[in-house]
Amino acid sequence: MRDHYDFSKAVKNPYIGKLKQQITIRLDEQVIDYFKEMSNETGMPYQNIINYYLLDCVKSNRRLELAFA
Instruction: Give the pTM.
Output: 0.67
pLDDT (0 to 100) of residue 51? 94
Residue type, 32: I
Q: What gap in Å lies between CA 42 and CA 36, rounded to an integer?
A: 10
Q: How far apart are CA 11 and CA 26, in angstroms?
A: 39
Q: How far is CA 64 from CA 3, 25, 51, 59, in A?
A: 57, 18, 17, 14
Residues 6+ apart with CB under 8 A from 36: 46
Distance from C-alpha of 47 to C-alpha of 51, rounded to nearest angstrom: 6
pLDDT tens, 19-47?
A: 788 899 999 999 999 999 999 999 999 99
